[in-house]
Amino acid sequence: MSDTTQTTEDEWRVKLDPTQFAVLREGATEPAFTGKYWNEKRPGVYTCAGCGTELFSSDTKYESGSGWPSFFTPLAEGRIVEKTDTSHGMVRTEILCANCGGHLGHVFPDGPQPTGLRYCVNSASLELAPED
């Protein structure tokens, strides 16, 4: 993964809280139904908690039942990069912030139309900028 922000590990440790650091910089997964956004319904834009890049719109958020905030598409092309993840004995597609390289979650082919995709994201990777 690349980090166009050139932020060092020490700087990330200062900038992020311990949970955000574990998820964004070390690829951890928050337990289901524990994050601050899995049941969030306010309209707005979800930005990367690491670098502020606008990643997802609440318009594409849906109830997946997974316990993590789920979206059927990113806000725009090029905001997210994908990488094959073979950890934990599974083959999954990891999703990362294209700007800072922060780990967001995974994308699965079981989402709703029109994309059929489920972008399954850790709340710790996101910061909601509410519309009002």
Q: Which CB sits closer to Fe ion, 117 or 126?
A: 126
Q: Which CB sits closer to Fe ion, 45 or 112?
A: 45
| Of 7, 16, 46, 50, the one binding Fe ion by CB under 5 A | 50
Asked if residue 70 lies in contact with residue 32, where contact means CB atoms within 8 angstroms, the answer is no
How far, in Å, CA of 132 to CA of 130, rounded?
Answer: 6
Instruction: Please confirm, yes or no, whether 120 is among the known catalytic residues.
Output: yes
Q: Of 51, 97, 100, 120, which one is the catalytic site residue?
A: 120
- Asked if 51 touches Fe ion (CB under 5 A), the answer is yes
* Nearest-approach distance from CB 104 to Fe ion, in angstroms: 8
- CA proximity to 61, closest of 123, 132, 5, 124: 123
Catalytic residue numbers?
A: 120
